[in-house]
Amino acid sequence: MQIIRDLPALRATLGERRLAGDRIALVPTMGALHAGHVALIEEARRRAPLVVASIFVNPRQFAPGEDLDRYPRRERADAQMLEEAGCALLWAPSADTMYPQGFATSVTVGGPSEPLEGAARPGHFDGVATVVLKLLNQVQPDVALFGEKDWQQLAVIRRLVADLDLAAEIVGVPIVRDDQGLALSSRNAYLTPEELAAARALPRALGEAAGAILKGQPVEAALATACARLSEAGFSAIDYVSLRDAETLAPLDALGERPARLLAAAKIGAARLLDNLAVAR
Ligand SMILES: Nc1ncnc2c1ncn2[C@@H]1O[C@H](COP(=O)(O)OP(=O)(O)OP(=O)(O)O)[C@@H](O)[C@H]1O
Ligand SMILES: CC(C)(CO)[C@@H](O)C(=O)[O-]
Ligand code: BAL
């Protein structure tokens, strides 16, 4: 696997492959890779012969006081995992390459970026949209893959790509979970074994709430029970447990015709965890 860190080299390499007629798939990541990322690479391989992964811990999507400095960085192990998964090229720019001196542009997506994560982490989706637009311009992939674990991020990126007439097809990949249902996440590494065991209450609470809503329990009551379950399990701060339109992220107080999604974010130990689940009749 080739590792490229500067833009002229990336453009030259990908330009040659594009001329040769190869389709290109992009898997953007922040590194500290796990089986969830491998699933994205595997799906990318099914869709294009040339798979590019990026690793960039994007400072612009972290608010002051968040975990930018301690976010796990382990490029050597990541590169090995990517190579074994069949990734051909790792794009690993430095912060100066991504944001050279004088950089002054920020991309704001409205609509689905405003509630939930947008409210809990002001500026976060501006950072995500800015870097994802840059990555799509740098790599110019035919297809780019993102995990459903970050459901709202995926909705924001779909909106960005549609609104700015970008050519890449955006593909969402289902959440990879451990054997007890916890969504894999790089930030799970912040948890002690006891906290990890307690964190499994998150998917359980969402599953229980989805089941109750489908059986006709009022949404508000089902969400309140889910919050109580999380508190009992030791989650210290529950940012939201909410039923939303799956595409627009508008709040729902009942199931309707359009796809609905339960989304949650809550803190346990030193990690703030996200999860989500379809609620379908
Ligand atoms: N368990 C998972 N299943 C499917 N996709 C995932 C999973 N975890 C992460 N991804 C996806 O991998 C891509 C890169 O994510 P990232 O590098 O931030 O990892 P992460 O595990 O989500 O980290 P974090 O703990 O910071 O949220 C994103 O599109 C993300 O949605
Ligand atoms: C999409 C992304 C790579 C942008 O930095 C990041 O938000 C992530 O890893 O989900
Ligand atoms: N995968 C989500 C990226 C973030 O929390 O910044």
Instruction: Go through the domains of the chain in sequence order and give each one's CATH number.
Output: 2-173 (3.40.50.620), 186-274 (3.30.1300.10)
Atom of ligand 1 nearest to the CA of 188: 25
**Gap from CA of 175 to ligand 3 centroid (Å):** 14
ipTM over 0.85 threshold = yes
Nearest CA to ligand 3 atom 1: 150
Q: Is 178 helix (H, G, I), strand (E, B) or coil?
A: coil
Pocket test for ligand 2, best of 131, 157, 176, 184 (most atoms within 8 A of CB): 131
Per residue in 199-214, pLDDT tens? 999 999 999 999 999 9
Calpha distance 216→212 (Å, rounded): 6
Q: Is 229 helix (H, G, I), strand (E, B) or coil?
A: helix
Atom of ligand 3 nearest to the CA of 62: 6
- 8 A C-beta contact, residue 280 and residue 260: yes
Find out whether 147 is annotated in a ligand binding site.
yes
**Stretch 89-95: mean pLDDT, rounded?**
98
**Gap from CA of 119 to ligand 1 centroid (Å):** 20
- 8 A C-beta contact, residue 178 and residue 184: yes
Q: What are the Cα distances from residue 95, in Å, to 5, 103, 108, 156?
A: 10, 11, 20, 23
Q: Which residues line ligand 1 (CB under 6 A)?
A: 29-30, 36-37, 39-40, 146-147, 149-150, 173, 175-176, 183-187
- 8 A C-beta contact, residue 63 and residue 124: yes
Closest CA to 103 of 122, 69, 127: 127
- 8 A C-beta contact, residue 54 and residue 146: no
**Stretch 81-85: mean pLDDT, rounded?**
98
Find out whether 128 is annotated in a ligand binding site.
no
124 is known as an active-site residue: no
Nearest CA to ligand 2 atom 4: 128
Per residue in 52-79, pLDDT tens? 999 999 999 999 999 999 999 999 999 9
Does pLDDT of 281 surpass 90? no
Q: Please give the span between the terminal C-alpha atoms of the chain, in angstroms, as a whole number.
A: 44
pTM score above 0.95: yes
**Gap from CA of 138 to ligand 2 centroid (Å):** 15
Atom of ligand 1 nearest to the CA of 150: 31
Find out whether 181 is annotated in a ligand binding site.
no
**Stretch 48-53: mean pLDDT, rounded?**
98
